[in-house]
Amino acid sequence: MKNKGNKMDVIIIMSSDLAGGVRKFSAFIRRDGFKSLLITNVKDDPNAAFCDFSIYFPWKEDLNPLIGELNLSFNIAYIINACERLIHWQLKLIEGLNRNDPNLPAYYFLKSKYDIRKKLHTEGIEDIQFIGGTLRDLLNTQCHYFPCVIKPSYYSGASRWVRTCIDDAELKKTIVKFLNNPLLIHEEFIVEEYLPGIEFSYDGYVENQKFNGLFLAEKLNFDYQNNHDGDSIISPPVTISKQSVCALEKKIRKIVKILHIHRMFLHIEGRVNEDNVNIIEINARMGGGEYSSAIKYITGIDPIKTMFELVGKDEVSQPEEHSPKQYTMMVKFNIKQRGVFKSLTSLTEILALPNVINGYISDGFEISSLERENVMAAFTICGDSYEEVIDLREHIKKNFRFLVSEKHTINTKSRS
């Protein structure tokens, strides 16, 4: 690591609402001989203790004071961002710091769900109907397709403020409800045609403009009303045909080409039915929660390390030796009740079960909003057959005990 004058060479880690893989990224940064600089919108962010420097910034329009402080005190080596809702600000940082980034053309589309949907439509890759704008714009715009799904274009993550509406009356009612939230008055939303079918996700990375697929998974018991994940995600998929996978990968290759993506980790979500394969979202990051553990188990590739290398290395490391079982599953506990989550079963107890690879429990976390997924516990499991992982999932669901108290406390837990 170099020290040019009084400035320190640092790698920026961007974070919003404690998300962004801060602790894991900072560990790789330290091993590489750099220092980490956390930029967070949370005062007294607990993840700051794992970084060399930290700056509180509420992610607002005027970035000039932040850019001035960065230019005065630091030499920025790289910028790491695993929060898609911060791509808009990442672009502003890249431009304000006069940095070169080969992915810049792609970020202009990936920053907004409306912009990427419009691009895919223009290029003839997807024909999903959609409209977009602020909530007030949408209140005065006629939607001609139902059911439909309304969701934020920028402020995404954990399926915040996502709703499926069956008709115009329900859509207007939802928009009015959102308008009563001060956080959403000026936010832009997209209203898309509802797509029937099986929900899937596909994680992989682009290197030299070539997509390397790592983890294709099917979402079981998906909540289609709120567009939230169900109780489990399994790989390989059990009901998605090889023909559909080939069609999906063909679309991904086209997207990488038209967006000029050079080096980037991607988390793609979509739906497949007997007629078509549709891509619903493209996120410039790896999947959250237990995705990293599941991907590392099944491929031998650490997504956090790979994302770090895509930003700051010439080549991505080769996978570690591994001998995975045939099926990998993430078991999730999405709590739909406000209050403080308290686990009555320890993580040690769950990890002691056969074929449980990894997991986390957000013990003591306060659930204040039901307008998002609140996954308070998740576990990665494996098995040699579909029936084996289903049986283990049911055993965990039956034996993992918790309660949600009404007493609200100050949250000191990290979701990162």
In this structure, is residue 308 part of a structural domain? yes
Same domain for 51 and 25? yes
Domain boundary among 193, 211, 241: 193
The secondary structure of 212-275 as a DSSP string is EEEEEEEEET-BTTTTB--SEEEES-SS--HHHHHHHHHHHHHHHHHHT--EEEEEEEEEE-SS
Q: Peptide bond preceding 147: is omega within 30 degrees of 0, i.e. cis?
A: yes
Same domain for 219 and 282? yes
75 — phi, psi (to 5°)? -105, 115
CB 222 within 8 A of CB 229: yes
CATH number, residue 177: 3.30.1490.20
In this structure, is residue 118 part of a structural domain? no
Of the candidates 169, 233, 203, 391, which has an alpha carbon nearest to the alpha carbon of residue 302? 203
Same domain for 27 and 69? yes
Q: What is the pTM of this model?
A: 0.92
In this structure, is residue 148 part of a structural domain? yes
In this structure, is residue 112 part of a structural domain? no
Domain boundary among 261, 290, 323: 323
Domain membership of residue 161 as a residue range: 129-193
The SS3 assignment for 332 reads strand
What totals of helices (H) and strands (E) does the chain contain, helices first?
12, 20
Per-residue pLDDT in tens (0 to 9) along the chain, 416 residues: 445 457 889 999 999 988 999 999 999 999 988 999 999 999 999 999 999 999 999 998 789 999 999 999 999 999 999 998 899 999 999 999 999 899 999 999 999 999 999 999 999 999 999 999 999 999 999 999 999 999 999 877 667 899 999 999 999 999 999 999 998 999 999 999 999 999 999 999 999 999 999 999 999 999 888 888 899 999 999 999 999 999 999 999 999 999 999 999 999 999 999 889 999 999 999 999 999 999 999 999 999 999 999 998 888 988 878 789 999 999 999 999 999 999 999 999 999 999 999 999 999 999 988 888 999 999 999 999 999 999 999 999 999 999 999 865 444 444 44
Same domain for 231 and 313? yes
Give every CB contact of residue 356 below 8 A, 6+ residues apart in sequence.
350, 379, 380, 381, 392, 396
Same domain for 206 and 304? yes
In this structure, is residue 86 part of a structural domain? yes
In this structure, is residue 88 part of a structural domain? yes
Give every CB contact of residue 318 below 8 A, 6+ residues apart in sequence.
none
| Domain total of the chain | 4
Same domain for 138 and 241? no
Same domain for 144 and 230? no
Same domain for 260 and 303? yes
Give every CB contact of residue 205 below 8 A, 6+ residues apart in sequence.
211, 212, 214, 263, 264, 265, 266, 303, 306, 307, 310, 316
In this structure, is residue 111 part of a structural domain? no
CATH number, residue 283: 3.30.470.20
Domain boundary among 293, 323, 353: 323
